[in-house]
Every structure is written in structure tokens, then in C-alpha cells.
Amino acid sequence: MEITRQQLTNMIDHSLLRPNATREQLAKLCHEAMEYRFKAVCVNPIHVAEAAQLLKGSKVLVCSVVGFPFGTHSHKTKAFETKEVIRLGAQEIDMVIRVGALKEGRDREVMEDIQSVVHAATGNPVKVILETCYINAEEIIRGCKLSVEAGASFVKTSTGFAEAGAKVEDVRLMRKTVGKDFGVKAAGGIRTLEDALKMIEAGATRLGTSASVAIIQQFDKNEKGGK
């Protein structure tokens, strides 16, 4: 598919979510995000304040995960965490849905959970992680609809910490469900330019990956006629 370098970099959330991530690695992440002009860095709450300071004056956003990686926190805890990371400088929130509740059809509970974060985010975009490897097509559809109704801005495939990450067919189904104007973020296992382009072609408008630099370097190599 045809895409410019700027379009691609503006779709990438450059991610560092490992529990053993160091401050040195965080500084490297933020430096790369500014150098390559990625849309955002996606980090754990403990790194939000420092990321915000490192990125000060740039156009790179700070995205924090909430209720990560299992989504099993109470909705009050997720709301508090959301308020705290925004106070520290987060501009976007990636929250994990209550997967078990979704699977059991407890839609009101799922809705309230998402709404609590959306409300706490005070207008900052919220991306709802469905963890698609744990749910079937019907549950993906229902999770997407609940996310839209709850006032989120994106649905997202995966945390990257479950049994599998983003799949093209899931991204396609999510896009079909939410329509053309709602955000879809593919994340988990996106390691190559080919992976990234497949997800975008399927309907992703944002990509979460720790292989961001390698993907753009591959793009640049292709543009120069490299093999």
C-alpha cells in the first residue's frame, strides 16, 4: 500500500512497557521518538513524569497504560490511576478492558469500567485494549460497541503481554464494527514494515510497537531502492 514516511511515523506509539525498563532505556525511547517524529511514546505510569519532561517542547505525546496488563483492577482504581498519570503529564490513556466480564456478558460492568476512565481522562483520548487473543469475534464486536458507547476514542487489539498480539483479521473486524471515523490501534507482535503495512491496510490508524525504529529504517531502505 502507498504511504508516506510522515504518515507512517505519525501512526506509531513508540512503546517501552517491560517491567524491567530502566531510566536509560526511557531516555533512549524519548530521544528516538523525537528524532523519528513518532506520534507518541507509550510507557508505564511510573515513567510518565520523566517522559513528559524529556519530551517537553516536542510534538511527541505521552501515552500511559492504565490497569495494565490484565485489566483486573477495580474501576475506581483505574480512574484514580488515570487522574494521576494525567497530572504527571500523560496526554493519552491505553486502558485494559475487563476481559472476563466481557466474556460473561456483563456488559454494564464493562461499560462502567470504560466510562470511569473516560471521565477521569477529562477529554484526553482513551484507547480500550480488548486483548483479542482471549475473546471471539462476537465478543470483539461487543467490546468495540461498548467502547464507542462509553466515549472512548480508540479500540486496541492487545497489551503485548498475552498469548498472542495483533491479527489482521481482528483489526479488520474492529474497523468494520466501529466505522471509519473511530480509532483502531494494532499492537503486539508488530516487528517489521510488512507487519505494520498489513495492519494499516486492515484498518489500523495507530500502531503500538517497540520495533518502531527498525520499521522506519526498513521504510527508508525501501525508499532508497535497497533490498
Evaluate if residue 1 carries a pLDDT over 80.
Answer: no
**Residue of 13, 39, 78, 94 with catalytic role:** 94
Evaluate if residue 225 carries a pLDDT over 90.
Answer: no
User: What is the pLDDT confidence band of residue 226, given thresholds at 50, 70 and 90?
Assistant: low
Average pLDDT, the chain: 97
185 labelled catalytic: yes
Q: How many domains does the chain have?
A: 1
Task: Quote the percentage of the chain above a pLDDT of 70.
Answer: 99
Q: What gap in Å lies between CA 72 and CA 86, rounded to an integer?
A: 21
User: What is the pLDDT confidence band of residue 115, given thresholds at 50, 70 and 90?
Assistant: very high
Evaluate if residue 5 carries a pLDDT over 90.
Answer: yes
Evaluate if residue 213 carries a pLDDT over 70.
Answer: yes
Distance of CA 33 to the CA centre of its chain: 15
In this predicted model, what pLDDT tens digit does every residue of 91-114 receive, in sequence order? 999 999 999 999 999 999 999 999
CATH number for the domain spanning 129: value is 3.20.20.70
Q: Give me the torsion for CA of 134, 92, 168, 227, rounded to 10°.
A: -130
Q: What's the pLDDT at 45?
A: 98
Alpha-helical (H) ranges within the chain are: 5-9, 23-36, 48-54, 75-88, 99-103, 107-120, 137-150, 168-178, 193-202, 212-223
Domain that holds residue 143: 5-223
What distance, in Å, lies between the first and last C-alpha atoms of the chain? Answer: 18
**Residue of 167, 185, 195, 198 with catalytic role:** 185
**Residue of 156, 167, 170, 195 with catalytic role:** 156
Q: What's the pLDDT at 173?
A: 98
167 labelled catalytic: no
Evaluate if residue 204 carries a pLDDT over 70.
Answer: yes
83 labelled catalytic: no
The residue-averaged pLDDT of 142-168 equals 97
Beta bridge partners of 207: 12, 186
Does the pTM exceed 0.85? yes
